Amino acid sequence: MKSDQNSEREGRSSESRDSLKSLNEEIRSCTRCHLADDRTKAVPGEGPGRADILLVGEAPGRDEDLAGRPFVGRAGSILDRCLNDAGIDRSEVFIANVVKCRPPGNRRPKKDEVEACRPYLKSQIELIQPKVVCLMGNAATKAILDVEGVTSLRGQVFKDLFLVTFHPAAVLRNGNLKEDLVSDLLAAREKAEGSRALHQK
Ligand code: URA
């Protein structure tokens, strides 16, 4: 028999999924900025409605634009490997981006594009209620914390929620950073598990 606590969590989880579903639909038909003109598919993000860990990247690339799913290209493969090394199952985490549509030629998202998309990420954080949000790279760190300089900030936690780390594409360019990304993901996992244990007390 399910405990009251479990059924309450499942209840909240399906509520959250319903709202995430409508948020995803809104994102898929969004025309708030010009990135909508050239996209194949918007990429709202994917993962459980109540994930303890939310990973935030920059913006979809070509593979993600075609698939409508985040981190399915080369950066996705390295992310999967790093998650695996940190003992995290990709299906347990929610993966999103600052900007939900692909910037042409994979350029960095512009300020107005980040601003147009910001409410979506904010809603995702509110609905998912993660225990830790990993800001992967400068775009995510700048969008959420308004600071830059991942190399010096990585591994640090801000507002007891946001953990700054490298973007998987940086690891593709410099394999030496993989160890740091894995260790930050491990720290995220430990933080999520720690706060889950506290809540169960
Ligand atoms: N890079 C990102 O920032 N996000 C993706 O989804 C893929 C590559």
Ligand 1 center to residue 195 CA distance, Å? 28
* DSSP state letters, 49-61: TT-SEEEEES---
Which of 151, 152, 184 is closest to 56 using CA atoms?
Answer: 184
Provide, for the chain, the percentages of residues in helix, strand and coil under a 3-state DSSP scheme, each rounded to the nearest 5: 55, 10, 30
User: What span, in angstroms and rounded, lies between the C-alpha atoms of 109 and 107?
Assistant: 6
Q: Which domains does the chain have, with CATH numbers?
A: 4-200 (3.40.470.10)
DSSP-derived secondary structure letter, 73: S
pLDDT over 80 (residue 80): yes
pLDDT digits 0-9 by tens, 50-60: 999 999 999 99
Which of 168, 184, 174, 152 is closest to 57 using CA atoms?
Answer: 168
* Residue from 63, 71, 74 whose mutation best tests the ligand 1 pocket (most atoms within 8 A of CB): 71
CA distances from 47 to 4, 97, 107, 110 (A): 24, 13, 26, 26
Q: Distance from CA of residue 22 to its chain's centroid?
A: 18
Q: pTM of whole model > 0.75?
A: yes
Ligand 1 center to residue 155 CA distance, Å? 20
Ligand 1 center to residue 99 CA distance, Å? 9
For residues 106 and 67, the answer to whether their CB atoms sit within 8 Å is: no
Q: Which residues line ligand 1 (CB under 6 A)?
A: 57-61, 64, 70-71, 75, 97, 169
pLDDT digits 0-9 by tens, 93-136: 999 999 999 999 999 999 999 999 999 999 999 999 999 999 99
Q: Which residue has the CA at smallest separation from atom 7 of ligand 1?
A: 71
User: What span, in angstroms and rounded, lies between the C-alpha atoms of 158 and 162?
Assistant: 5
pLDDT over 60 (residue 2): no
Q: Is 197 helix (H, G, I), strand (E, B) or coil?
A: helix
The residue that leads in pLDDT, 71 or 7, is 71
Ligand 1 center to residue 9 CA distance, Å? 30
